[in-house]
Amino acid sequence: MSDFPAYAPSEEHELLRRTVRELADAKIAPFAAEVDEESRFPQEALDALAASGLHAVHVPESYGGAGADALATVIVIEEVARACASSSLIPAVNKLGTVPLLLAGSEELKQRYLAPVARGEAMFSYALSEADAGSDAAGMKTRAVREGDFWVLNGTKMWITNAGVSQFYTVMAVTDPSAGARGISAFVVEKSDAGVSFGPPERKLGIKGSPTRQVILEDVRIPADRMIGAEGTGFKTALATLDHTRITIAAQALGIAQGALDFAIGYVRQRRQFGRPVADFQGVQFMLADMAMRLEGARQLTYHAAVKSERAMRGEPVADLTFVSSACKALASDVAMDVTTDAVQLLGGYGYTREFPVERMMRDAKITQIYEGTNQIQRMVMARQLLK
Ligand code: CAA
């Protein structure tokens, strides 16, 4: 049976899960409430993840990285998110920022920018959205104009995760305004480039430890070799990237939901009402069963998608990657919203307070239904795949 085409996690994947869970329980979970309360970057998590080489596990070995496959990367993000959703954006956004390079960047660009990320010296964000170009990403206005051996960028990118703490940014900008989506190109912009600044941190419902800010580009003059791929291919690269990274948002959603379910199970076993643990009541048991059932279903679809992502990264044709990627992202995030809401319900009044982590998990789950494409956009993407 050794050649059976399994997509289940291997023993190595499960060992990785145990390792990350131990690390997250010991070094990330203890700060999760404080990071949320103070809306501060989880530096302890970055330090712990970088010390163990878990901050950007997807970077291939040829660029000094751990070379983890897409399923292993999902497991890392899932386990960090179980402890702290904000912290899980460290490995997730490092992947989002660098996949455009991996898919379309020149060898020289990859060597230059992936190695510092692998060493834990730099993080990488992804700058697609703008104030008036969210779901309609191709409606962006940020402009890049060629001047000799340079491109000069002007515009404001919005909702940029980990803006300010990342050293590097994949920025999509219009190079030919007459060509629509085919007039968009991708660039690497550095935080230290003259003319780069950041808006104030957004005041958000959840993932408060991960800074979300505007990236403001004012006459940012960068060498022409910072373009990722050919001119006019930036929008395709951006969407092809999301085919891989919506799976990591699904992973984040799974982790948040698992954290809430685990906490709720512990709670209902010890909470006594009417002279017995509330876990004895069938109504509570049915809620737990539904939560776990739906979570496991979403997990299996996510792992299935992760294996397809890995195959595609290795150059195999995978016809339905776009579909499964959107499907697992929409399903896992909807499940995470339901599971975390039910976890709050199971804790009753206590669940509604900040004394317990489930209200934070419920707030954090909400963003997974919105970013990397709203779940309405995911359904549109899936329907287009079905009908084409
Ligand atoms: N891979 C590669 N190319 C693709 C593609 C894919 N998955 N999907 C479409 N394309 C190509 C098309 O073939 C087309 O190319 P041609 O003109 O050469 O045929 C081009 O891209 C444009 O495609 P569409 O006409 O389908 O584009 P559209 O404007 O109708 O919209 C969309 C597409 C699906 C709505 C897209 O805009 C979208 O996904 N919107 C959501 C935006 C989004 O997800 N933003 C996330 C921001 S990042 C974030 O949130 C990160 C974070 O904070 C953590």
**Tokens found for residue 280:** 């004895």
Q: For residues 306 and 330, give the distance between their C-alpha atoms in angstroms, rounded to a whole number.
A: 15
First to last CA, the chain: 37
CA–centroid distance for 386 within its chain: 25
3-state secondary structure of 215: strand
**Residue with CA closest to ligand 1 atom 21:** 236
- State residue 4's pLDDT score: 60
- State residue 1's pLDDT score: 41
Contacts of 51 (CB under 8 A, 6+ apart): 120
Q: Is 376 in the pocket of ligand 1 (CB under 6 A)?
A: no
Which among 80, 71, 70 has a CA at the least distance from the CA of 31? 80
Q: At what angle do helices 43-51 and 29-38 cross, to 10 degrees?
A: 150
Q: Is 73 in the pocket of ligand 1 (CB under 6 A)?
A: no
Q: Is 181 in the pocket of ligand 1 (CB under 6 A)?
A: yes
Cβ atoms of residues 226 and 175 within 8 Å: no
3-state secondary structure of 173: strand
Q: What residue type is assigned to position 59 of the chain?
A: V
Residues 235-387: name the CATH superfamily: Butyryl-CoA Dehydrogenase, subunit A, domain 3 (1.20.140.10)
Q: For residues 21 and 12, give the distance between their C-alpha atoms in angstroms, rounded to a whole number.
A: 14
Q: For residues 218 and 197, give the distance between their C-alpha atoms in angstroms, rounded to a whole number.
A: 8
Supply the DSSP symbol for 369.
T
Dihedral angle over CA of 3, 60, 87, 81, nearest 10: -10
Supply the DSSP symbol for 201.
P
161 CA: nearest ligand 1 atom: 53
Which among 99, 86, 146, 150 has a CA at the least distance from the CA of 126? 99
- Does residue 355 have an active-site annotation? no
Token pair 């912290």: residue: 87
CATH code for residues 124-232? 2.40.110.10
Report field, pTM of the whole predicted structure over 0.95: yes
Q: Is 152 in the pocket of ligand 1 (CB under 6 A)?
A: no
237 CA: nearest ligand 1 atom: 2
Q: Is 115 in the pocket of ligand 1 (CB under 6 A)?
A: no
The structural architecture, per CATH, of the domain 11-118 is: Orthogonal Bundle (1.10)
Cβ atoms of residues 138 and 67 within 8 Å: no
Query: From first to last of its 388 residues, what are the pLDDT tens digits of the chain?
Result: 445 656 789 999 999 999 999 999 999 999 999 999 999 999 999 999 999 999 999 999 999 999 999 999 999 999 999 999 999 999 999 999 999 999 999 999 999 999 999 999 999 999 999 999 999 999 999 999 999 999 999 999 999 999 999 999 999 999 999 999 999 999 999 999 999 999 999 999 999 999 999 999 999 999 999 999 999 999 999 999 999 999 999 999 999 999 999 999 999 999 999 999 999 999 999 999 999 999 999 999 999 999 999 999 999 999 999 999 999 999 999 999 999 999 999 999 999 999 999 999 999 999 999 999 999 999 999 999 999 9
Q: For residues 120 and 50, give the distance between their C-alpha atoms in angstroms, rounded to a whole number.
A: 5
Q: How far is the CA of 106 from the centre of ligand 1 (A)?
A: 22
Total residue count of the chain as it appears in this document: 388
Q: How far is the CA of 240 from the centre of ligand 1 (A)?
A: 8
Q: How far is the CA of 347 from the centre of ligand 1 (A)?
A: 40
Q: For residues 219 and 82, give the distance between their C-alpha atoms in angstroms, rounded to a whole number.
A: 41
Q: Is 137 in the pocket of ligand 1 (CB under 6 A)?
A: yes
Q: How far is the CA of 375 from the centre of ligand 1 (A)?
A: 14
- State residue 6's pLDDT score: 62
3-state secondary structure of 228: strand
- State residue 307's pLDDT score: 96
β-pairing, 272-273 vs 143-147, is unpaired
Which among 342, 329, 328 has a CA at the least distance from the CA of 369? 329
Give 66-113 as a DSSP string. Answer: ----HHHHHHHHHHHHHH-HHHHHHHHHHHHHHHHHHHH--HHHHHHH
Q: Is 130 in the pocket of ligand 1 (CB under 6 A)?
A: no
Which among 260, 259, 257 has a CA at the least distance from the CA of 369? 257
Cβ atoms of residues 201 and 159 within 8 Å: no
- State residue 85's pLDDT score: 98
Ligand 1 pocket test, pick from 162, 228, 236 with the greatest ligand atom count within 8 Å of Cβ, gives 236
Q: Domain-by-domain residue ranges, the chain?
A: 11-118, 124-232, 235-387
Q: Is 161 in the pocket of ligand 1 (CB under 6 A)?
A: yes
Q: What angle do CA 36, 373, 261 make, to 5 degrees?
A: 45
Q: How far is the CA of 265 from the centre of ligand 1 (A)?
A: 40
